Amino acid sequence: MVFGIDGTPIAASALAERGLRLLGPGGRHATVAALLTNDADSVAVVLGSLLGGAGLVSVPPPHRGADLSTYAAFVTSVLADHGSPPLIARADIAAALAAVGVDSVAADALPAGGWLGGRPDGATVTQFSSGTTGEPKGICLTDAQLGSNVTAIIERVVPRPGDVTVSWLPLSHDLGLVGMLLTSVASAAPPWVDGGEIVLLEPEQFLRRPPLWMDAVRRWRGTFTAAPDFGYELAARTAPDNAEEVTSLRCAIVGGDLVRRDTLDSFTRAHTGFDPLAFCPAYGLAEVGLAVTMVRPDDPVGHRSVSRRGLADGTLTDPQDPGDLLSVVSSGPPLRGYAVDAPGWSSGHTGSILVTGPSIGSQATTTTPAAADQPGLRTGDLGFVDDDGLSVCGREDDHFVLRGRNLFAPTVERAVGRLPGVRPGRALIGAGPDRWVVAVEPARGDRPPIGPLRDQVRRCAVAVTGAQPDAVVVVAPGSLPFTSSGKPRRRDLLRQWLGDDLDELRP
């Protein structure tokens, strides 16, 4: 494994041995909690706890700009729910937590041995959903459940000798932990292939300098990577004109958010040499470990052109004009052992997505199956199934009915997010039973006048929906509530607006 674009390789087996040496065996704790970051200490904790048959609770880190006192209350609650296990964190995070009254142990100062005694039922990992509609929800997965999902992913991507994974995704998120770390480690060992490499960048490095991602792919001849849609969009928008070719990638997973055709096209245009057949859109969620469906490498990505306005009513109709056209991208067929139930394309409408498979975890605090009282897991997403597999059209809470009018939030956000003066993709709406607000972040660089920008956003919102928003606000860069994977937290926005708690920029 390599940490940073110019890091020195460290064998994963050495990190696993280090984790076992630090964490156990023979200790008095059956579980350890960790604030995972993309460094060697975190990888050692993950591998050591899994191989030691212990429980690992992956505590999500605070969002950028989060109030630390509020975050401390969340961490304290998570630890109490899991029997108050010791918390491991990077040294600087441990110091910040100590300032708000949360005890933790710095990862680089772990005493050797005696921490973990293992669990009678084997290793478990608790990861948190990304919190699209509220507080992140803890999901507990056994090692058998994780193994079944990892195996199904490996079978779909078909590893090759010499594969190199390059990732900036946080290990605290399912796409980073299960998709990039555990899947890559497992696929680089028999019976799959013998050997491989994993290059981990810090998420903050990518966000500060997006071209670093493809720089690392070129530097290490990366063959395997993944990101939400917003990651590819950001990489496309910031790619330098004179960048070297990107020719080595053969599997570029797109997941964790709605997949947009224009994002795939713009990334391909911005990176000469990249083969668009490497794109592998996928659908999944933390409740199943990671993945449920995925396009196979070398298969063309399927898509359907539908009416944006029709989606507001949950119908699949032909677009009426170019501005009404939305290209819905397929997330591929189910992995082996998994199934999805959603309306078919021929039905002419979207509907709730239901997932069945061998890795549906349990609610961490109750051990109740995440799919309790139903034959599968209803995900809260809307979509349809056709010959290309599953296509996701949004979340059930993307749809609002305001004053008798249907409103589809992503349509408004995409239109507003493309306006000059708005930071690309940084537009969000929040809607209640009778009120709705549009919030945007200004573009980087010279800040446009706030008043005219608000007027422009309002006109666009009205043009798209035919309805006047109750308010349009321009907020400080980085303050809109999104999850770590780029999913909108619209309910949080509504609460902040109603509570007059937005970091609003004034004219």
What is the tens place of the pLDDT at every residue in 457-500?
999 888 887 788 989 999 998 899 988 777 888 888 888 887 88
Q: How far is CA 258 from the centre of its chain?
A: 10
Among 86-95, 118-127, 141-150, the range scoring the smallest mean pLDDT is 118-127
Over residues 309-337, the mean pLDDT reads: 88
Q: Using the 8-state DSSP alphabet, how is residue 177 labeled?
A: I
Q: Tell me, what's the pLDDT at 457?
A: 94
- Model confidence pLDDT, tens digit, residues 189-214: 888 998 899 999 999 999 899 999 99
Task: Give the Cα separation of 312 and 464 in Å (integer).
Answer: 11
Does any domain span residue 489? Answer: yes
In this predicted structure, the answer to whether residue 99 has a pLDDT above a threshold of 70 is yes
Are 392 and 432 contained in the same domain? no
Does any domain span residue 130? Answer: no
Does any domain span residue 503? Answer: no
In a 13 Å sphere around the CA of 445, the CA atoms on its Cβ side amount to 6
Backbone angles phi, psi at 11, to 5 degrees: -65, 135
Does any domain span residue 387? Answer: yes
In this predicted structure, the answer to whether residue 357 has a pLDDT above a threshold of 70 is yes
Are 377 and 238 contained in the same domain? yes
Overall domain count for the chain: 3
In this predicted structure, the answer to whether residue 403 has a pLDDT above a threshold of 80 is no
Q: Tell me, what's the pLDDT at 445?
A: 75
Chain-wide mean pLDDT for the chain?
89
Over residues 52-58, the mean pLDDT reads: 92
Q: Tell me, what's the pLDDT at 177?
A: 97
Are 115 and 168 contained in the same domain? no
Are 196 and 269 contained in the same domain? yes
Are 320 and 429 contained in the same domain? no
Which of residues 397, 413, 434 is at a domain's end? 397
Does any domain span residue 506? Answer: no
Are 195 and 324 contained in the same domain? yes
CATH code, domain carrying 221? 3.40.50.12780
Which of residues 382, 397, 412 is at a domain's end? 397
- Model confidence pLDDT, tens digit, residues 1-51: 999 999 999 999 999 999 988 887 667 788 999 999 999 999 999 999 999
CB neighbour list of residue 205: distance below 8 Å, 6 or more residues apart: 4, 168, 212
Of 285, 284, 288, 293, the C-alpha closest to 361 is 288
Are 362 and 296 contained in the same domain? yes
* Percentage of the residues of the chain whose pLDDT score is greater than 90: 59
Domain that holds residue 31: 10-122
Q: Tell me, what's the pLDDT at 134?
A: 44
In this predicted structure, the answer to whether residue 132 has a pLDDT above a threshold of 80 is no
Which of residues 397, 423, 439 is at a domain's end? 397
What length is written for the chain? 507
Q: Tell me, what's the pLDDT at 375?
A: 72
Are 317 and 169 contained in the same domain? yes
Does any domain span residue 3? Answer: no
432: left (phi over 0), alpha (psi -120 to 50) or beta: beta
Question: In 3-state terms, the chain is what percent helix, strand and coil (to 5)?
Answer: 35, 25, 40
* Cα-trace Rg, the chain: 22
CB neighbour list of residue 379: distance below 8 Å, 6 or more residues apart: 285, 287, 352, 353, 354, 355
Does any domain span residue 113? Answer: yes
Over residues 310-326, the mean pLDDT reads: 83
Query: In a 3-state reduction of DSSP, which class is residue 10?
Result: coil
Are 432 and 369 contained in the same domain? no
In terms of C-beta density within 10 A (0-12 exposed, 13-18 middle, 19 or more buried), how is residue 25 classed? middle
CATH code, domain carrying 434? 3.30.300.30
- Model confidence pLDDT, tens digit, residues 265-287: 999 999 999 999 999 999 999 99
Are 368 and 416 contained in the same domain? no
In this predicted structure, the answer to whether residue 436 has a pLDDT above a threshold of 80 is yes
Element (H, E) at 291: strand 291-294
Distance spanning both ends of the chain, measured CA to CA? 49
Q: Using the 8-state DSSP alphabet, how is residue 78 labeled?
A: H
In this predicted structure, the answer to whether residue 329 has a pLDDT above a threshold of 50 is yes
Tokens of 377: 């897991």
pTM of the model: 0.84
Q: Tell me, what's the pLDDT at 64?
A: 65
Are 413 and 470 contained in the same domain? yes
β-partners of residue 116 are 29
Are 114 and 165 contained in the same domain? no
| Sign (positive or negative) of CA dihedral 114, 120, 122, 127 | negative
Tokens of 240: 């330098």
Does any domain span residue 202? Answer: yes
Task: Give the Cα separation of 137 and 56 in Å (integer).
Answer: 15
17-to-12, 33, 43, 142, 193 alpha-carbon distances in Å? 9, 19, 11, 21, 21
Q: Tell me, what's the pLDDT at 39?
A: 95
